[in-house]
Amino acid sequence: MQQPSAASLPIVSNDAPIVPKKPPVDPATLVHRELLRGPFWQRIPAYAAVDEKTFLDHAWQAKHTITKPAKLLEALQGLVPAGFVEDAEEGFKRAPMSLRVSPYLLSLIDWSDPYADPLRIQFIPVASRLLPNHPKLHLDSLHEQADAPVPGLTHRYPDKALFLPLDTCPVYCRFCTRSYAVGVDTEEVEKVSLKVNEERWKRAFAYIASRPELEDVVISGGDVYQLRAAQIEEIGMALLDMPNIRRMRFATKGPAVMPQKILSDDAWVDALTRVVERGRKLHKEVVLHTHFNNAKEITGITEAAMNRFVERGIFVRNQTVLQRGVNDTPEAMTLLVRRLGHVNVHPYYVYVHDLVSGVEDLRTSVDTAIHIEKHVRGSTAGFNTPTFVVDAPGGGGKRDAHSYEHYDRETGVSVYQAPSVKPGQFFFYFDPLHQLSTAAQRRWMDPAEQDQMIADALQKAKQRLR
């Protein structure tokens, strides 16, 4: 076919006006780029005299992290009414998680409206908002211990294991799915011990090395932020030395609650960098997984910390927990997802809240997750769009929220299968009772009715599979 000559091509002038097919976006709407900066912590009387250099020191943050309810409430004197203090005192008595709140986190909470603040909701319980546990809730609802061949190592998926080298974190989240082990004992829960133990670590490494199908290890806890630099390197290098291991992920809440460590703990960051760089030379993937739940948790300090990871070639993914009052609207979740992308953190999963003791007020329904995902998808690039999942109670693992075999929105029972994890089994998730009709809530108060609702859901799930 003859090509047209240059002379026959239309002349396009550089001065021709560009006619947009979409109207331009008002820059004022790009709120995901607006990060909190400046000495915001000085709004808290306890930190009014703290300068920037001191506040950005991870050692100062760790030293001044509050671990006793009385100390926390003392720091809030003059900021909140007496009624809130009494409410929180009673809330701590009934909580399954112990207290641990960093100065950075405390300074991000809007104390003029503490009941509605999404960060307060996650870390500081108030008795007036607590609800009874769902009758089908168990302390270790994901059966991590049941799937543990050695203490602190869960092997559920064919090629992946979860290694828990320790049981402490930089802060303690109310909604922690490992409230059976993380932190110190509370009035509600006597914890399973997963303290740092060389012999326990050796048993975990020996098991991983003995299973050729294992290729992927998540190092969590607790939280790897609490490991010393030498321990980060010890674990990372031991796993890299195993021919079967191709991928590993260090999991930490730290960047969301104490980004100062990344900026000032050079030894820790250098140790992680050495593991990442050695992995790269061995053609193995080493990444960091973190945990932001609300856009307010991402500040200018966070951005500086994430920039340091980018400069080191450390890839960061995020896992969010869907929580009532924290991120359970399309607007809140979309803002979080876009702000994560802005600071080079890639949204990975959004978990429908696990069945965790003492935090029924935080749970939302499967239907809520499906609704929000529809709105988030398309708001940004696909690789920055998280998958909304249910971590199936009973050890079924992560299932796409919308992939149920049956879902009864009236009773709140959803049924999932996990054919590649535990073939032939069915797993049930239960929406929170407070989001069900009054009639459904009454049925859940009767054990016989509970069994009937579950049996009906199972029967319908099986019928669908025929």
The CATH number of whichever domain residue 250 belongs to comes to 3.20.20.70
> What is the pLDDT, as a whole number, of residue 7?
53
| Residue 134 forms part of a structural domain | yes
> What is the pLDDT, as a whole number, of residue 148?
87
Strand ranges of the sheet holding 426-430, from the earlier edge strand across to the other edge = 406-408, 413-417, 426-430
Q: Specify the DSSP class assigned to residue 361.
A: G
> What is the pLDDT, as a whole number, of residue 222?
84
Give yes or no: residues 411 and 368 share one domain.
Answer: no
| Residue 21 forms part of a structural domain | no
Amino acid 309 reads F
Give yes or no: residues 102 and 235 share one domain.
Answer: yes
231 torsion bin: left (phi>0), alpha (psi -120 to 50), beta (else): alpha
Of 402, 425, 458, the last residue of a domain is 402
Helix (H) or strand (E) holding 349, with range, is strand 346-352
| Residue 128 forms part of a structural domain | yes
Give yes or no: residues 308 and 452 share one domain.
Answer: no
pTM to 2 decimals? 0.91
Give yes or no: residues 191 and 283 share one domain.
Answer: yes
Structural domain range at position 375: 56-402
Of 402, 425, 447, the last residue of a domain is 402
| Residue 79 forms part of a structural domain | yes
DSSP strand pairing (413-417 vs 316-322): unpaired
Give yes or no: residues 119 and 247 share one domain.
Answer: yes
> What is the pLDDT, as a whole number, of residue 82?
81
Cα gap 237→245, rounded to integer Å: 11
Give yes or no: residues 60 and 199 share one domain.
Answer: yes
> Residue 373's closest CA among 335, 408, 330, 406?
330
| Residue 85 forms part of a structural domain | yes
Task: Provide the number of structural domains found in the chain.
Answer: 2
Cα gap 104→242, rounded to integer Å: 39
DSSP strand pairing (413-417 vs 406-408): antiparallel
Bridge partner list, 317: 289, 346
> What is the pLDDT, as a whole number, of residue 188?
47
The one-digit pLDDT tens for each residue of the chain (466 residues) are: 556 555 555 555 567 677 777 788 888 889 999 999 999 999 999 999 999 999 999 999 999 998 888 888 788 878 888 888 889 889 988 877 778 899 999 999 999 999 999 999 999 999 999 999 999 887 666 666 778 899 889 999 999 999 999 988 888 888 887 555 454 444 444 434 577 888 999 999 999 999 999 999 999 988 999 999 999 999 999 999 999 999 999 999 999 999 999 999 999 999 999 999 999 999 999 999 999 999 999 999 999 999 999 999 999 999 999 999 999 999 999 999 999 999 999 999 999 999 988 899 999 999 999 999 999 999 999 999 999 999 998 888 999 999 999 999 999 999 999 999 999 999 999 999 999 999 999 999 999 999 999 999 999 999 998 7
Give yes or no: residues 204 and 87 share one domain.
Answer: yes
Give yes or no: residues 92 and 192 share one domain.
Answer: yes
> What is the pLDDT, as a whole number, of residue 189?
46
- Triad 365, 369, 374: Cα angle to 5°: 145
Give yes or no: residues 432 and 387 share one domain.
Answer: no
Of 402, 419, 450, the last residue of a domain is 402
Give yes or no: residues 343 and 204 share one domain.
Answer: yes
Give yes or no: residues 75 and 192 share one domain.
Answer: yes
Give yes or no: residues 272 and 363 share one domain.
Answer: yes
| Residue 437 forms part of a structural domain | yes
Can you tell me whether residue 399 is helix, strand or coil?
Answer: strand
